[in-house]
Amino acid sequence: DIQMTQSPSTLSASVGDRVTITCRASQSISSWLAWYQQKPGKAPKLLIYKASSLESGVPSRFSGSGSGTEFTLTISSLQPDDFATYYCQQYHSYWTFGQGTKVEIK
Protein backbone atom coordinates (compact mmCIF):
# COMPACT_ATOMS: atom_id res chain seq x y z
CA ASP A 1 0.00 0.00 0.00
CA ILE A 2 1.12 3.54 -0.75
CA GLN A 3 1.38 5.79 2.32
CA MET A 4 1.01 9.56 2.07
CA THR A 5 2.62 11.84 4.65
CA GLN A 6 1.78 15.53 4.88
CA SER A 7 3.71 18.21 6.72
CA PRO A 8 3.10 20.17 8.75
CA SER A 9 -0.01 18.82 10.50
CA THR A 10 -0.96 22.34 11.58
CA LEU A 11 0.16 25.65 10.15
CA SER A 12 -0.49 29.08 11.66
CA ALA A 13 -0.45 31.92 9.16
CA SER A 14 -1.76 35.42 8.54
CA VAL A 15 -3.80 36.85 5.69
CA GLY A 16 -1.42 37.66 2.83
CA ASP A 17 1.18 35.04 3.80
CA ARG A 18 2.64 32.59 1.30
CA VAL A 19 1.84 29.08 2.52
CA THR A 20 3.41 25.79 1.45
CA ILE A 21 2.23 22.30 2.37
CA THR A 22 4.30 19.22 1.57
CA CYS A 23 3.09 15.72 0.74
CA ARG A 24 5.39 12.72 0.42
CA ALA A 25 4.51 9.34 -1.05
CA SER A 26 6.06 6.09 0.17
CA GLN A 27 6.81 5.13 -3.44
CA SER A 28 6.70 6.87 -6.79
CA ILE A 29 3.22 7.88 -7.91
CA SER A 30 4.33 9.81 -11.02
CA SER A 31 1.99 12.82 -11.10
CA TRP A 32 -1.13 11.00 -9.90
CA LEU A 33 -1.76 13.38 -7.01
CA ALA A 34 -4.70 15.58 -6.08
CA TRP A 35 -5.23 18.22 -3.41
CA TYR A 36 -8.51 18.92 -1.62
CA GLN A 37 -9.72 21.64 0.72
CA GLN A 38 -12.18 20.84 3.49
CA LYS A 39 -13.98 23.25 5.81
CA PRO A 40 -15.67 22.12 9.05
CA GLY A 41 -18.91 20.25 8.43
CA LYS A 42 -18.48 20.37 4.66
CA ALA A 43 -17.44 17.93 1.97
CA PRO A 44 -13.93 18.12 0.51
CA LYS A 45 -13.46 20.29 -2.56
CA LEU A 46 -11.04 19.47 -5.36
CA LEU A 47 -8.33 22.09 -5.88
CA ILE A 48 -5.54 20.48 -7.90
CA TYR A 49 -5.26 17.26 -9.91
CA LYS A 50 -2.39 15.54 -11.73
CA ALA A 51 -0.05 17.31 -9.29
CA SER A 52 -0.23 20.74 -10.90
CA SER A 53 -3.49 21.15 -12.86
CA LEU A 54 -5.83 23.72 -11.35
CA GLU A 55 -9.47 22.65 -11.15
CA SER A 56 -11.88 24.96 -12.95
CA GLY A 57 -13.12 27.77 -10.73
CA VAL A 58 -10.30 27.47 -8.18
CA PRO A 59 -8.46 30.77 -7.59
CA SER A 60 -5.06 31.08 -9.23
CA ARG A 61 -3.38 31.75 -5.88
CA PHE A 62 -3.46 27.95 -5.43
CA SER A 63 -0.76 25.99 -7.22
CA GLY A 64 0.70 22.51 -7.06
CA SER A 65 4.04 21.06 -8.04
CA GLY A 66 6.13 17.91 -7.81
CA SER A 67 6.35 14.41 -9.21
CA GLY A 68 7.53 11.01 -8.10
CA THR A 69 7.39 11.06 -4.30
CA GLU A 70 7.46 14.73 -3.27
CA PHE A 71 4.73 17.27 -3.87
CA THR A 72 3.77 20.74 -2.66
CA LEU A 73 0.63 22.82 -2.49
CA THR A 74 1.27 26.55 -2.40
CA ILE A 75 -1.14 29.37 -1.61
CA SER A 76 0.57 32.52 -2.86
CA SER A 77 -1.33 35.01 -0.71
CA LEU A 78 -3.54 33.52 2.00
CA GLN A 79 -7.11 34.84 2.03
CA PRO A 80 -9.69 34.63 4.86
CA ASP A 81 -11.62 31.97 2.93
CA ASP A 82 -8.52 29.73 2.80
CA PHE A 83 -8.45 28.80 6.48
CA ALA A 84 -9.34 25.13 6.25
CA THR A 85 -7.83 21.64 6.25
CA TYR A 86 -5.99 20.44 3.16
CA TYR A 87 -5.52 16.85 2.06
CA CYS A 88 -3.34 15.29 -0.59
CA GLN A 89 -4.50 12.09 -2.31
CA GLN A 90 -2.63 9.61 -4.48
CA TYR A 91 -4.55 7.81 -7.21
CA HIS A 92 -1.69 5.84 -8.74
CA SER A 93 -2.60 2.62 -6.97
CA TYR A 94 -6.06 2.62 -5.44
CA TRP A 95 -6.50 5.76 -3.32
CA THR A 96 -4.78 7.04 -0.20
CA PHE A 97 -5.11 10.39 1.53
CA GLY A 98 -2.57 12.23 3.60
CA GLN A 99 -3.49 12.89 7.22
CA GLY A 100 -4.35 16.52 6.52
CA THR A 101 -2.87 19.95 7.22
CA LYS A 102 -4.96 22.44 9.16
CA VAL A 103 -4.28 26.05 8.21
CA GLU A 104 -5.14 28.25 11.18
CA ILE A 105 -5.25 31.99 11.75
CA LYS A 106 -2.08 33.25 13.42
Partner 1 sequence: EVQLVESGGGLVQPGGSLRLSCAASGFTFTSYSMNWVRQAPGKGLEWVSYISSSSSNIYYADSVKGRFTISRDNAKNSLYVQMNSLRAEDTAVYYCARGNGDYPSFFDYWGQGTLVTVSS
Q: In terms of CB distance, is 18 or 50 closer to partner 1?
A: 50
Residue 1 CB, shortest distance to partner 1, in Å, is 8
How far is it, in rounded angstroms, from Cα 74 to Cα 104?
15
Contacts of 75 by beta carbon, 8 Å cutoff, 6+ apart: 18, 19, 61, 62, 82, 103
- Binding string, residues 40-79; x marks residues near partner 1 by CB under 8 A: --xxxxx--xx----x------------------------
Beta strands in the chain (DSSP E): 4-7, 10-13, 19-25, 33-38, 45-49, 53-54, 62-67, 70-75, 85-90, 96-97, 101-105
Of residues 81 through 100, those in contact with partner 1 by CB under 8 A are 87, 89, 91-100
Backbone angles phi, psi at 40, to 5 degrees: -55, 130
- Interface with partner 1, residue 11, by CB under 8 A: no
- When the beta carbons of 1 and 16 are compared against partner 1, the nearer one is 1
- Identity of the residue, 15 or 104, whose beta carbon is nearer to partner 1 in the bound complex: 104
Which residues contact partner 1 by CB under 8 A? 1, 32, 34, 36, 38, 42-46, 49-50, 55, 87, 89, 91-100
